[in-house]
Amino acid sequence: MIREFNLKKFRGIWFLAFVLSISLIFWNSISVAQPKTVKIGGLLTLTGSLAKAGEEIKHGIEMAAEDVNKAGGIKALGGAKIEVVFGDSQAKPDIGAGEAERLVEREKVLAIMDQYPSVVTLAASAVTERLKTPFLAPISYADKNAERGFKYYFQQNAKTGSKGTGAAWYEFEYMEYLAKVAGKKFEKVAIIYEDTDYGQAGANGLRNFCGEKGYKVVEDISYPSRTPDVTPIISKLKAAKPDVVLMVSYLGDSILIMKTADRLGFHVPWIDNTGKAHSSYIKALGEIAEYDNVLNMWNKDLDKRAKELNDRFKTKYGEDMTGHGALEYQAIWVLKAAFESAKKADREALRVALTKVEIKPGPDMFMPFRFIKFGSNGVNTGGGFILTQVQSGDFVTVWPEKYAVGKVKIDPKWWK
C-alpha cells in the first residue's frame, strides 16, 4: 500500500518553503551595519595531530581580545571591539589555504593571524597575498616564508636560520653556554629534525652555525613526525656518541623520541627548538623530562607581568600559558596598535599601518623582545628566545642571563 505523495496539491507551500530555505543561506551574510567590531581571522590547528596546541593558542587569542576590548577596544575606531573568527587548518596546507579563503571571502575578516606548522603558514599566506589581506604569522619562522617578496605577509619572529636573531641561532648559542656551565668541551654534535619546512630550516641553520665554529656533526637525521617507532634513529644517535643533541621537532614526536632515548639508556643533553614548549610535554614524560632544555619565547616566571598574565590564563583555562600562546597574545596587541594608527577598518590601511608599527618594551610589549618592527620583507628582527629547563616538573627560565630566574642544572646521568 503506497500512498502517493501529492506534491502538486501543496505547490504554493512548497515554493514558499523553498524560498525561505534559500534565504536562510544568505542570512549570515546580511550585515546589519556593525561598525563597532573589527573582524580578525584566526587560522589554527583545532583538530588533527596538533589539536592540543591549537586549543591552547585559541585561549591565548581569546584572552587577548578580551583584554583589548575591556581596555576600551580600538580608540581610533570609536572603541571598536576585536572579534576573532576561527578557522581550522587541521595542520594541513591545502585545508589551511581553503580556510584562509573562507575567512577572507565569506567572513570578511580584515586580517588573518595563524599558528603553525610553517607549511600551513606558507600555503595560507599565499592565498591572503592574492586576496590582498594582511597576514600576521605570530609563531612560524621557517626561512622560506619570508623570502617570497610578499607585501601582505608579516612575521613576528626572525627567520629561524638568521644569525643573531633566529631560533636556530639561540639554540646554538645556548649549546655553547651549556658547555661552559658544565665545564665540558662539546666536540661532537648530533642534529635530529622533523622533515617539513620547520625542521629543515632549523637544521640548516644549526648545521651552518656548527660548521662555522668547527663542531663535528656526527649524525644528521631527518624523520617524518608521524613515525610510530623511532628506535632505529635513536640507536643510530646513540652509536655516534655525540656530546649533545640538537633537535627541531614537534610535540608528539618529541615525546616518542625522549621516551625511546630513555629506554635505550642514551643520556646526553638534548636541546630542543620550541617543539616541547608545552606543559603537556612534562605531563606526558614525567621524570624523563627532567633536565631537558627547551627553547621558548616566553615563560610565566619571566617577570611580574608574565606571572600575572599566566595566573589569569590558568584561572580561566586550567593550565599554564605557553610561549606560543603568549606570542599569539602579543600579536593581537600588535594588530590593535596597527588599527590605532590606521584609523580605518580597512585592509589596505591596516597593511600600511603594519609596515610602520613599532612596539618597544612598555605596556604593549609582553614578550622578552627588544622591539617589534616589521622589516621590508615583513620580518620582525627585534625578537628573541629564552631557554627554559625542566626542573622539578616545571619550566624554569635559565638563559639568557638577563632573563634567567634559575640556574642551569646538570643531569648527573649525562655522558655516562
Partner 1 sequence: MDVAALVQAIVTGLVMGGIYALVAAGLTLIFGVMRIINLVHGEFLMVAMYGSFFMNSLFGLDPYISVVVILPLLFLIGSGFFRFLISPILSAPEINQILLTIGASIFIQNLALLLFTADFRTIALSYSRIKIQLGPGIIDLPQLVALLSSILLTLILYWLLKSTDLGRWIRAASQNREAALLTGIDVRRVYLFTFGIGTACVGVAGSLLSGIYYITPSIGWLFLLTAFVVVVLGGMGNFVGALLGGFIIALTESVGSLFMPIALVPVLKFIIFIILLLFRPQGLFGLKRL
Footprint of partner 1 (CB under 8 A):
47-52, 54-55, 195, 221-224, 226-233, 235-236, 239, 251-252, 255-256, 262-265, 280, 283-286
Measured from the CB atom, is 288 or 405 closer to partner 1? 288
Measured from the CB atom, is 55 or 346 closer to partner 1? 55
CB of 266 to partner 1, least distance (A): 10
Q: What is each CA distance from 246 to 122, 250, 275, in whole angstroms?
A: 25, 13, 12
Measured from the CB atom, is 222 or 341 closer to partner 1? 222
Pair type for strands 386-391 and 394-399: antiparallel
CB of 270 to partner 1, least distance (A): 18
CB of 289 to partner 1, least distance (A): 11
Measured from the CB atom, is 101 or 262 closer to partner 1? 262
Q: What are the φ/ψ torsions at residue 102 (nearest 5 degrees)?
A: -65, -45
* Cα–Cα distance measured from residue 57 to residue 241, given in angstroms and rounded to the nearest whole number: 37
CB of 314 to partner 1, least distance (A): 16
Measured from the CB atom, is 154 or 253 closer to partner 1? 253
CB of 114 to partner 1, least distance (A): 18
User: Which long-range contacts link 354-363 to residues 24+ away (Cβ below 8 Å)?
Assistant: 354/134, 354/136, 354/154, 359/333, 359/334
Element (H, E) at 112: strand 111-114
CB of 94 to partner 1, least distance (A): 17
| β-sheet bridge partners, residue 220 | 191
What are the strands of the beta sheet with 135-137, ordered from one edge?
Answer: 81-88, 37-44, 111-114, 135-137, 153-155
Measured from the CB atom, is 289 or 332 closer to partner 1? 289
User: CB of 360 within 8 A of CB of 349?
Assistant: no
Measured from the CB atom, is 181 or 264 closer to partner 1? 264
Measured from the CB atom, is 54 or 378 closer to partner 1? 54
CB of 253 to partner 1, least distance (A): 10
CB of 268 to partner 1, least distance (A): 17
- Tell how far CA 58 is from the center of its chain: 11
User: CB of 190 within 8 A of CB of 245?
Assistant: yes
Element (H, E) at 410: none
Instruction: Output the nine-digit C-alpha cell for 311.
Output: 595566573
Measured from the CB atom, is 286 or 362 closer to partner 1? 286
First vs last C-alpha separation in the chain = 84
Measuring CA to CA, which residue among 209, 285, 195, 289 is closest to residue 248?
A: 195
CB of 195 to partner 1, least distance (A): 5
SS3 6: coil
* Cα–Cα distance measured from residue 390 to residue 294, given in angstroms and rounded to the nearest whole number: 8
